[in-house]
Structures are given as C-alpha cells and as structure tokens.
Structure 1
Amino acid sequence: MVMRSETGQDQFTLRRRPWSERSIDGGFRLLTILLASLVAVVLLGIFLTVFNGAQEAMASFGLSFLVTSGWNPVNNQYGAFTAIYGTLVSSLLALFIAVPLGVGTAIFITENLIPRTWREVIGVMVELLAAIPSVVLGLWAIFVMEPLLRPLLNFLHQSLGWFPLFSTVPKGPGMAPAVLILVVMILPIITAISRDALNQVPQELRQGAYGVGSTRWIAIFNVILPAAISSIIGGVMLALGRAMGETMAVTMIIGNSMNFSWSLLAPGNTISAMLANQFGEADGIQVSALLYAALILMLMTFAVNILAQWIVRRFSLSYN
C-alpha cells in the first residue's frame, strides 16, 4: 500500500496478512512440492524397477548386448543392435521429413498466406490428425499406405539397388513404411508447437522487418523464425521422443524382424515394437533381456530430453 506524506514523499506501509491467507499460501506451496516430488518418485521407481529387472541380462551379456544382433530365445542368445538401429533410424528419418513439413505448415497458417477460413480449417485438421489412435493409423498403413507406396519403393530398389539402404526387394511391411507412419504421427506435434511459437512472436518485430523494406520471406526467415526458434526446437525434440517411444502403429507395419539389414526396404524392428511383441510370452532370461532393452530406450529418451533442454537454452541465449 502506498501513502503520500505532507512533504510529497511516498511512504510504503505493509498490510499485515491474516493467518487464513498465510495458511492457504503455505498449504498450496506444500501441495505443489508434494506433487512435484511425487512425479520424481514415480520416475525414479520406474527406472529402478527396469534396472533391477535387467541385472541378469546385464551380467550375462554386458555391453555386447548393444552391438550384437542375434536374438534366439531357444539358445538364450540376445542382442539388441537390430532394435536399437531401427529405433534410431526410423525416428531420425521421420524427423528429417516431418520438420520441414511441420514448420512449413505452421508458417503457412500463421503468416496470412491464405484466407483466414482456410487457415482455421487446416489448423483443425492438424489437431484432428493428432487425435487419431495409433492402432487406427497402423491399420491405415497396412491396408492403404503400404500398397500405394510399394511401386515407389520398387522404383527406388531398381534405380538405387547398389546402395545399401535400398538393396533389398520390398515385399510388404518394412522400415520405410514405418518411417512414413511416424511422420504422420509426429507431424501434428511439430506443427502445433511451431504455430504457437510463431503466434507468440511480437507484432513489433514483424512491423519493424517490413518497415526497413524486408520482403515477406526475408522477414520470415531472418526475423520471425529466429525469434521463435527455441520453442520450435523444443517441439522438434518432443516429437523425436514420441517417435522413439511409439509402439502400436510401428509394430503393425515395420515387419518385426530381428534379422539385421541396412536396407530401409527390408523388415526391421524397434525397441518398443520388440517389447510389445515378446514381453507377453517371455520367460527366464528373455524377460531380463527385454528389460535391458527397455532400460536402453529410457536412457535414449533421457538423453534426448537433456539435449533438448541444452539446445533450447542455447538458442534462447543467442536470440535474447
């Protein structure tokens, strides 16, 4: 509370808050701390559960589990390199395709390149795409996307068959259809977050760019995108984490083969798909091997989150 004295100087007086207000604030602070701590405890509990379950496989296979591709439950031979390779390749390739599409769609929506009605329709369609269950997308990939995609994949094999990534004949489910279904699944995330980030750019920056004579595209690439880049990168890394952990749709279309192949046209596997397929029937050390693979996936997603925080902080400092 501010009071003015006879001399014209401001004097500050503090109102003594009643006990009821202070107790409500203290209770809310305590509740917030407890809920935040609960999240940390649950996360730590999940990690310790998976880590303890993976102890037997870690003792038996060690780090060779990461670089061997044999997976034979009959002989108790396990190696997760095929699934690790499939997880990384499918996620990164999906990100490589989805980022230009998602950011471009966000620019298309936010920068008044089309009438407002169309912008609203496209925005609603993007949100509806994010709401489609992954199992439905998996069925669509099996019955619609993969048959339509096969002529293109055959052309790639015939034209670039000498290259290891296209060296096998496409015969159905494989890594390439899995990459494209991941693109469909992470595209709404990148588009929505990029759209919100671009909408948060102050109008003064846009007006200043146009005021010095910049064209629309110069303003977009030199002013607007750099101002929103940290939030966009955060959305991209969030989409990468989603792609690495996606299970159902990828399981239905990737082929679920533990035979290693560099080719994107051959059936493959990911850690999530391997867990979904085998955990229900696993027994003995196979359970521990699957938990070892799950631990690797957790560490990979944890590393992605740390990298995302570092990149966002780095770009935030660069443009502030």
Structure 2
Amino acid sequence: MADTALTATAPKTAGATASREAILRRMRGGDRVFHSVTLSAAIMVLVVLGGGIAALIFGAWPAIQTFGFGFLTSHAWNPVTEQFGAIAPIYGTVVTAAIAMIVAVPLGLMIALFLTDLCPMWARRPIGIAIELLAGIPSIIYGIWGLFVFAPFLQGTVQPLLIDLFGNVPLLSDLFAGPPYGIGVLTAGLILAIMVLPLVTSISRDVFETVPPVLKEAAYGIGCTTWEVFRHVVLPYTRVGVVGGVMLGLGRALGETMAVTFVIGNAHRISTSILAPGTTISATIANEFTEAVGDIYTASLILLALILFVITFIVLAISRYLLMRVERRIG
C-alpha cells in the first residue's frame, strides 16, 4: 500500500515541478522582454539627442567655417553684408535669466515657506492652486500682458524711479542709465521671473513638506525662531530638491521665447544699462528664421540654436554636479 501511494504521488510531484519551471520560464521571458523594451527606450533617447546635435552641427557648419570662433565674440549682426556675431544674444540670454532667478528664487522660497509653515490651513489650498495656475498660462499671454500692461507701468513709474535713485551712484548709474523705454532687458527678466516663480514655488513647497515635523518641533523647543528653523533645519534637509527646482527654473528662463520676444526690444547690441533694449538667442531665432535668406544667414541662426543647446547642457551639468556634491555631503 505504501509503495502504491508513493507511486501515485510521484507523478503529481513531477507535474508540480514542471508547472513551476514553466511559470519561471514565462516570468524570465517577460523580464527579458521588459528589459529589452526599457533598454530600447533609453537608447532611443540618446539617438534622438545625438541626431539633434548632429543636425544642428550640420546646419550650422557654413557659419562655423565662415566665422569660426569669432562668431562668439563679434557684435555684428547685418544680414545685408552677411556679417553675424552671437555675443549680443548670448549676453541678453544670460542677463535676463540671471535677473529672473535673482527675483524668483527668494520669492519662491519665501512663498513655499509661508504655505508650509505660516499660512492658515483654510488658505493653503487656494493660494497653492493660484500659484500653480500661473505655470499653465501660455507664454504668449505673458508676452502680450508684458507689452501692453507691464512695460507701460515700468516706463511710467519704476524705471524713472530707478534712474533718479541711482543716477549719482557709481556703477549703478550705468546699470540703470538711459531713458525709460518700458521694454528692455529688465522688463524681460521680470517677466521671466513671473513665469519661473510657480515652478520654483511648487517644487520647494513639495520638498519642504517632506521635512519630518519632529525636527522642526525640536528646533522650536530649544527656542529657535521661524527664520532660524527655516535656515538651519528646513533648507539643509531639502537642499537637494531646492537646487533641482532652481535649476529647472533656470532651464526654462534660458529657453523662453515668445514672452521675451514681446518685451525685450529685439536690438542686437550690448548695453551696460539693463533698462535698454536687447535680444536673446531664442528671440533672435524666432524673429528672423522665417526671413533668413541665404545659407550663411540661416546657418548663423542654427549656430545660435547650437550655442543655446550648449549653454543649457552646461547649466544642467553644473546642477548635476552640485546635486552630487550635496548628496555626498549628506551621506
């Protein structure tokens, strides 16, 4: 009887083993398919990125051959004589982005602190939604509002005040010199600050909410003020996320096109005054690409696009390096 039971059990055990092996083979096959799909997606991103870089280099090659490194240092921009230089658009791009970040980052951090620690509970959600809605407004709307509302306001109130206030101050008198045009580098930078502010605020608020309450309660317990808690507890704990949000905002400020095109004045020159009109790389491309006649003109605009790509890549690389240093210091 025992031999009969063992004989009957053996086929069942063998069948269960075979079933488990079939399931494992099917799971391994699914894993291999999933691995292949994800690997293909990652490779596709690199292929598209490499293809974009190659297309920019190929399109800009006539300008590279004609102007060489001098393209980066020349002030000229004359389609009639086909003399082009990138220093004015590069200067405008960097200065407007710097103004935007100088204004948006402190405001964004303070708003995020207010929403997480100081704002009444009933008001947090409406204010947070209102700030996030700013990020959904199309950039052309910001440009139209800036041209017809914000620029006249600056021209009639803020810019004359800055000119009178800093007119006799060394260095600052040059920075805020000239007639109040309304449009100009300062106006474009402030518009960019308004556009970047929701991004910096939203990311900062999200990372501030991850701070364990016990850390803040301990700081308050030893007599720290709200500012001291923010400076010595919240910011150190969330600096990786804050740096990431700031760099994302900077990336948008560098590449913004339509809003800047409306209010910067589109003048291919460098002025020490931020009240004067200027231009950016993206604004120059948007304004002139459809009117570009001739290989050199078109290639010069594509070379500007390549320079903007390189600037953005450098900014992102620096941000990754900073994040790596912060993460290494943390742990």
TM-score, normalised by the number of residues in structure 2: 0.89
Between stretches 145-154 and 213-222, larger displacement belongs to 213-222
Between stretches 151-160 and 138-147, larger displacement belongs to 151-160
Equivalent residue for 2:31?
A: 25
Residues of 2 paired with 1:15 and 1:168: CA distance? 81
Equivalent residue for 1:110?
A: 116
The reply to whether residue 318 of structure 1 matches residue 324 of structure 2 is no
In the TM superposition, what is the alpha-carbon distance from 1:210 to its structure 2 partner?
3.1
Residues of 2 paired with 1:15 and 1:225: CA distance? 52
CA RMSD of aligned residues (A): 1.6
**Contact 1:160–1:166 (CA under 8 A) maintained in structure 2:** yes
Out of 69, 79, 85, the residue aligned to residue 73 of structure 1 is 79
Residues of 2 paired with 1:54 and 1:72: CA distance? 17
CA deviation map 1:157-195 (0-9, x unaligned): 233246222121122321111011000110011001111
Aligned length: 306
Q: Structure 2 stretches of 5 or more lacking a match?
A: 1-19
The reply to whether residue 176 of structure 1 matches residue 186 of structure 2 is yes
* Bigger Rg, structure 1 or 2: 2
Residues of 2 paired with 1:317 and 1:92: CA distance? 27
Equivalent residue for 2:234?
A: 224
The reply to whether residue 275 of structure 1 matches residue 285 of structure 2 is yes
Q: How does 1:1-320 map to 2 (within 5 A)?
A: 18-111=24-117, 113-150=118-155, 151-161=157-167, 163-284=173-294, 285-320=296-331
Residues of 2 paired with 1:17 and 1:115: CA distance? 55
CA deviation map 1:3-46 (0-9, x unaligned): xxxxxxxxxxx999522222222211111111111111111111
Residues of 2 paired with 1:250 and 1:259: CA distance? 16
Between stretches 73-82 and 25-34, larger displacement belongs to 25-34
- Kindly report structure 1 stretches of 4+ aligned residues shifted beyond 6 Å: none
TM-score, normalised by the number of residues in structure 1: 0.92
Residues of 1 paired with 2:100 and 2:246: CA distance? 11
Residues of 1 paired with 2:205 and 2:286: CA distance? 34
Opposite residue 262 of structure 1, the aligned amino acid is: T
Opposite residue 163 of structure 2, the aligned amino acid is: H
